[in-house]
Chains A and B, each alone.
Chain A
Amino acid sequence: MIKYFKPFVFIICLWPLGTIILDIYYNELGAEPVKKIMNHFGEWTLIFICLTLTMSPLKRITNLGFWIKFRRMLGLFVFFYATIHLLTYVGLDYRFDWEPIINDVLKKNIYLLDFQLGYY
């Protein structure tokens, strides 16, 4: 049972990637596409963090070991989406031009939360 369920969940987890690729391909991202892509992956990172953290409590509440089998996969998806999010910011928005990035990250604390979350 779990043998088939896991690949199924894996494919579902790729959904946010699929939707944004379609949006990019059909040019449906509106006036600020780069910002939208960045926010899209940022939001999904947060959603996957929450999902990952839900697995252990679910196991305790329902008394089913089943949930725990998904925890690592979901955690890796957190990393996956966080990486794309960061790459969009560094690569697509700032073209790997580090000076303004360092300037913004160190001097303003608006991005501090993002980086702190990335660190943990």
Chain B
Amino acid sequence: MKKIKYTEITPEKIYIKRRDFIKKLGLTTSSLMIGQNFLNNAAASTNSLEPTEYRYISTYNNYYEFGTRKSDPVEKSQNFKTEPWNIKIDGEVENEVNISAIEINNMFESEERIYRLRCVEGWSMVIPWLGFSLSKLLDKAKPNNKAKFVEFISVYDPVQMPGQKYPILQWPYREGLRIDEAMHPLTTLVTGLYGKKLPNQNGAPLRLIVPWKYGFKSAKAIVNIKLVEKMPTSSWMRSSPREYGFYSNVNPNVDHPRWSQASERVIGSGILSERIPTQMFNGYGDEVANLYSGMDLKKYF
């Protein structure tokens, strides 16, 4: 047998750390490839509530009414008319409400609300919205005791919204919440972004934000809020019931059938930043977990 020289043996210390070593090797190579100026960006990625840059929030959107590419909404929504805009609240209510977006703006004071937004596709942002709790508006309509669910119906206008000419989803876009979810103080009716009027590509003039659910649950450009007795079918449920459930709470333990939801990429955090672990209820568990006590969240995804 050939004798192995002592110098050829990997020291135990290095042997134990061999995987770490490979990791670092990879990182070094990629950082060498990439150069210096990204190292600065890389630090800003951790789990803080540092708002994402406005240029990303306003140019990287999923808004299929204007097209399926991320850049379509900003490119094709600039001439979209948001005035006049009326919202109807009807269905199981004592007091049907017909109100314009301007009246809503005057009636309810918007406050800054900085929330994480987790897209079902696996990326996230932190967004400083302006808005108020939806419950304030719903209270005006006085839901009756048959109102178990709330359905949100977005605008249908294929002339102004080129994406609606294609049957990608069932138009108009529909979303829904259970009444207790809709009345939760975190559920926000959004009127603005970064202290200004809401840009068209982000769902002007009025959109919903439900921060503990995947982004698609938060309907944009809402024209009708219906209180209903039976669980409504949302556009995404109709399009792919296996992939998109009614609840769609952010949940790292329940994978999308086509990809894992365990981690997410933070938009604008730079090329060398790591994916961060996705949090249960997007980090709002303290506030909302009690809405789902006793529910099997794997079954009701």
Contacts and interface: CB of A to CB of B under 8 A. Distances in A.
A25 B263 CA distance: 27
Nearest to A104: B260
B208 to A, nearest CB: 22
B258 A31 contact: no
A94 B22 contact: no
A93 B34 contact: no
Interface in B27-49: 27, 29-30, 33-35, 37-38
A96 B26 contact: yes
Contacts of B267: 31-32
Given A32-B123, A34-B271, A96-B23, A110 B56 contact: no
Contacts of B27: 91, 95
Interface in A87-120: 87, 90-96, 100, 103-104, 107-108, 110
A30 interface: yes
A27 to B, nearest CB: 7
A57 interface: no
Q: With a 10 A CB-CB cut-off, give which of A35, A37, A95, A103 has the most chain B CB atoms.
A: A95
Contacts of B265: 32, 34-35, 93
B270 A33 contact: yes
A100 B26 CA distance: 17
A62 to B, nearest CB: 38
Contacts of A31: 56, 59-60, 70, 123, 267-268
Interface residues of A, number: 26
Interface in A3-41: 21, 24-25, 27, 29-35, 37
A72 B23 CA distance: 33
Contacts of B112: none
Interface in A65-98: 87, 90-96
Contacts of A107: 255
A107 to B, nearest CB: 8
A65 B60 CA distance: 49
A34 B33 CA distance: 13
Contact of B263 (A33, A90, A96, A100): A100
14 contacts: A24-B34, A30-B59, A32-B123, A35-B265, A92-B272, A93-B265, A94-B275, A96-B22, A100-B263, A103-B260, A108-B255, A108-B259, A108-B260, A110-B259
Given A29-B271, A87-B30, A104-B260, 16 more contacts: A24-B34, A24-B35, A24-B271, A27-B38, A31-B267, A33-B271, A37-B271, A91-B27, A91-B29, A91-B30, A92-B272, A95-B23, A95-B274, A100-B262, A104-B259, A108-B255
Interface of B: 22-23, 26-27, 29-30, 33-35, 37-38, 56, 59-60, 70, 123, 255, 257-260, 262-263, 265, 267-268, 270-272, 274-275
Interface of A: 21, 24-25, 27, 29-35, 37, 87, 90-96, 100, 103-104, 107-108, 110
